[in-house]
């Protein structure tokens, strides 16, 4: 049974993230979405809020579960018996850093493979940080993020 990991900060989840998770769920028997609990920078949403937003957005997918992790991704993948990491690639600019992380993870945990799915063109420009920036200054992110995320952003930046 092939089990894959979709890791990320998901601060907040975007439609691009959801699309990558949906596609991973079609490719693998079981997918764990791993939310990084302690990213280097201060997150806008707590890990519990991010988990709740993701759970609502992927409720339609049967073979996916959500977990949080801290520390090294390779340790989390080993503990949960996840042998493949699935990540989305938006543009060539993503590739350099993603390649470096994939190779570091493979060096730390031989046998742990990273595969990339190319982001759908409709979400290629999307990132959590841009979404936060637009929402912070009152712009609409409806249609770019799941409805629950859009609502949470509006509430967070209200007033
Ligand atoms: O959504 P992001 O912020 O691009 O996700 C990055 C993530 C969570 C995949 C990456 O930061 C990560 O794996 N962090 C865990 C710490 C770790 O293992 N670092 C070494 C990676 S080579």
Which of 77, 117, 83, 79 lies closest to 98 in space, CA to CA? 117
Query: How far away, in angstroms, is 145 Cα from ligand 1 center?
Result: 21
Residue spans of the domains in the chain: they are: 3-124
- pLDDT tens figures, 99-125: 999 999 999 999 999 999 999 999 999
Give the list of residues 6+ apart from residue 55 with CB closer than 8 angstroms, or none: 66
Average pLDDT over residues 123-132: 97
The CATH architecture one would assign to domain 3-124 is 3-Layer(aba) Sandwich (3.40)
The protein residue with its alpha carbon nearest to ligand 1, atom 4, reads 8
Q: Report the pocket of ligand 1 as residue ranges, CB < 6 Å.
A: 7-9, 36, 72-73, 101, 104-105
Q: How confident is the model at residue 148 (pLDDT cuts 50, 70, 90)?
A: very high
pLDDT at 93: 87
| Coil vs helix vs strand at 20 | helix
| Candidate of 72, 76, 108, 114 to mutate for ligand 1, largest count of ligand atoms within 8 Å of Cβ | 72
Residue 132 neighbours by CB distance under 10 Å: 19
Q: Is the dihedral of CA 9, 14, 19, 25 positive or negative?
A: positive
Average pLDDT over residues 72-96: 96
Average pLDDT over residues 4-27: 98
pLDDT at 39: 65
Predicted structure pTM score: 0.96
CA distance 68 to 45: 14
Choose, from 17, 23, 50, 87, the residue flagged as catalytic.
17
Where do we find the tokens 């937003």? 53
| Candidate of 20, 36, 66 to mutate for ligand 1, largest count of ligand atoms within 8 Å of Cβ | 36
Is 70 a catalytic site residue? no
pLDDT at 41: 79
């Amino acid at each position: 049974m092939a089990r894959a990991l979709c890791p990320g900060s998901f601060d907040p989840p975007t439609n691009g993230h959801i699309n990558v998770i949906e596609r991973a769920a079609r490719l693998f028997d079981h997918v764990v979405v791993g939310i990084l609990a302690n990213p280097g920078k201060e997150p806008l949403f707590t890990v519990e809020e991010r988990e709740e937003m993701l759970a609502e957005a992927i409720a339609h997918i049967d073979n996916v579960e959500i977990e949080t992790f801290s520390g090294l991704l390779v340790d989390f993948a080993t503990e949960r018996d996840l042998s493949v990491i699935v990540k989305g690639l938006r543009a060539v600019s993503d590739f350099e850093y993603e390649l470096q992380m994939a190779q570091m993870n493979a060096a730390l945990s031989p046998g742990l493979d990273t595969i990339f799915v190319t982001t759908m063109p409709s979400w290629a420009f999307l990132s959590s940080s841009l979404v936060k920036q637009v929402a912070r200054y009152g712009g609409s992110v409806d249609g770019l993020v799941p409805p629950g995320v859009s609502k949470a952003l509006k509430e967070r930046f209200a007033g």
